[in-house]
Amino acid sequence: MATSFWENSVVQTAGYYTVSVLCMVLFLFIFEIVTKYKNWEEIKNGNISVAMATGGKIFGIANVFRHSILHHDSLFIMIGWGVFGFFLLLTGYFIFEFLTPKFNIDTEIENDNRAVGFISMVISIGLSYIIGANIQ
């Protein structure tokens, strides 16, 4: 029996890929608004700390969508879990800022404090594993 067009694994992969990339662009835009520095401008200028923090966000978002795709058959449910996971990553960003009252995370990353950039990256990656493990 032939499968329908929408059940074809190549079509599904293309759909999940396209939606995930579009969501990633949207979520990175939201992170751009939330941070006090301009991510892509700083990366263009060679700011390694911003590159690490942004790379951690990209990995975190992708990892959340990975788990969301693995555990759901519906594109819409996958998007819902991806959005929820992004909200949790964003919340983690604010918690990180709150838990470091002796210095400002955004200022340190903008000033290329690589220790802060690295910790920011690891927090995003680590939280994405926790979020992904809980997607059902």
How do residues 30-51 score in pLDDT, each as one tens digit?
Answer: 999 999 999 999 999 999 999 9
In whole angstroms, give the CA distance from residue 17 to residue 22.
9
Q: Quote the distance between the C-alpha of residue 18 and its chain's center.
A: 15
> Mean pLDDT for each consecutive 10-residue tract of the chain (136 residues)?
72 91 95 93 97 97 94 86 94 92 93 97 96 90
Domain total in the chain: 1
Give the Cα-Cα-Cα angle 107, 111, 115 (nearest 5 degrees): 90
Contact 34, 90 (CB under 8 A): yes
- Going through 1-136 in order, the beta strands assigned E by DSSP cover none
pTM score: 0.88
Average predicted confidence (pLDDT) for the chain: 92
* Tokens standing for residue 117: 């950039």
Domain that includes residue 58, residue range = 5-133
